[in-house]
Amino acid sequence: MKALYLESSAVVAWLFGEDSAGCVVRAMNQAEVRVTSALTVVEVERAIQRAVAARIVREAMAHKLRGALEREGVPVKIEGLSAWTDAAPLNEAGIPTICFGPGDIALAHAAEEFVPIEEIDVATRVLTRVVREWCEDSVPTI
């Protein structure tokens, strides 16, 4: 079985049409199982907000990701994150970063850390939906 962990920088690369976006799409298509983390959800939302504020992307693009979340029944939460992630150096460099994924951040790295299977399934459906919708459209203007 081929599994793929969708890390926030890969999702952001794909969302913003960076050179590595094609690799992300190919990896997702080849994977039998796709997973991500709750932290990725937060980082991805923050990247969308910053990219819109900096006029790097249009609000319509941000709306597409939020819409995919809502269609999968995932509440869109905009909030800060008090933990360190790989997003920190990206944000410091002015690169919009978003955290998105399943699980409860309060349980991360705890002795009893776990993520409900249903949350993994939902996150996988959201990311798959976003990739498919973006691939169906023309390359976004950034």
CB 101 within 8 Å of CB 36: yes
CB 123 within 8 Å of CB 102: yes
Q: Write out pLDDT tens, residues 40-95.
A: 777 777 777 777 777 666 666 667 777 777 777 766 666 666 677 777 787 778 77
pLDDT at residue number 21: 74
Q: d(Cα 3, Cα 30) in Å, to the nearest integer?
A: 9
- What amino acid occupies position 67? G
Q: pTM to 2 decimals?
A: 0.46
CB 98 within 8 Å of CB 43: yes
pLDDT at residue number 82: 66
Q: d(Cα 25, Cα 29) in Å, to the nearest integer?
A: 6
The whole-number average pLDDT for the span 118-129 is 87
Structure-model confidence comparison of residues 102 and 97, the more confident one: 102
Q: d(Cα 50, Cα 56) in Å, to the nearest integer?
A: 8
Residue 47: both structure tokens together = 């990247």
- The band of 140, judged by pLDDT with boundaries at 50, 70 and 90, is very low
Report the alpha-carbon angle 87-46-80, nearest 5. Answer: 85
Structure-model confidence comparison of residues 125 and 25, the more confident one: 125
